[in-house]
A = this chain, B = another copy of it.
């Protein structure tokens, strides 16, 4: 089950509102539960380099059903997933990518945000998700 266009747009609008509140310039991407791009929005004066990062954060979150930053903790030198960012055409493993989960526990997609500090990126991404669902999945194997 995939996030609908309507829900994706709602998530982007929610993220956008938080970006404006925080005075940040963001790239915001929504992908479906297979990682395919559903909607994207780049604010004026956002970093050009953030386009790809926002999309990759969203993909990273949906590929493993967890916030991108959690994977980043597991992929530090010496940790179990060291180097995982070399897979899947390049993943981004710092915060700013979060799953979109509906009220039955299905993951329908993810949102990725880039353009400010990782704290702000994560804050804005979560604000987007909260307009249409939650970020937390039940125990794996969860469903998509």
Give me the interface of A with B, judged by CB distance under 8 Å.
1, 4-5, 8-9, 25, 32-45, 47-53, 56, 59-60, 62-65, 72, 75-78, 80-94, 117-118, 140-144
- Which residues of the other chain, B, contact A86 by a CB distance below 8 angstroms? 56, 85-86, 90-92
Specify the main secondary structure of chain A where it touches its partner: loop
Tell whether, in the assembled complex, residue A41 and residue B80 are in contact, meaning their CB atoms are under 8 Å apart.
Answer: no
User: What's the least CB distance linking A53 to chain B, in Å?
Assistant: 5
Copies in the complex: 4
Please report the C-alpha to C-alpha distance between residue A39 and residue B45 in the assembled complex, in whole angstroms.
Answer: 14
Task: Indicate whether A45 sits within 8 Å of B141 (C-beta atoms), given known contacts A37-B40, A56-B87, A86-B92.
Answer: yes
- Which residues of the other chain, B, contact A44 by a CB distance below 8 angstroms? 4-5
- Which residues of the other chain, B, contact A76 by a CB distance below 8 angstroms? 77-78, 82
User: What's the least CB distance linking A13 to chain B, in Å?
Assistant: 10
User: What's the least CB distance linking A31 to chain B, in Å?
Assistant: 10
Tell whether, in the assembled complex, residue B92 and residue A90 are in contact, meaning their CB atoms are under 8 Å apart.
Answer: no
Task: Indicate whether A34 sits within 8 Å of B37 (C-beta atoms), given known contacts A49-B64, A63-B48.
Answer: no
Tell whether, in the assembled complex, residue B83 and residue A92 are in contact, meaning their CB atoms are under 8 Å apart.
Answer: yes
Of all A-B residue pairs in the complex, the 9 with the closest CB atoms, nearest first, are: A49-B63, A34-B34, A40-B40, A45-B141, A86-B90, A83-B85, A80-B118, A52-B87, A85-B86
